[in-house]
Amino acid sequence: MGGFSLWHILIFAIILLLLFGGNRFSAMMGDVAKGLKSFKAGMADEDEQRRNDAAQRPAEPRQIPPQKPYDTQPIDITPREPRPADPAAPPPPRDDSAL
Q: What is the pLDDT of residues 21-50, one digit of tens each?
A: 777 778 888 899 999 999 999 888 888 888
CA 17 to the chain's CA centroid: 43
Contact 33/40 with Cβ under 8 angstroms?
Answer: no
pTM above 0.85, yes or no: no
Segments making up each domain of the chain, as ranges = 24-55
In this prediction, residue 98 has a pLDDT band, given cuts at 50, 70 and 90, of: low
More confident residue, 73 or 29: 29
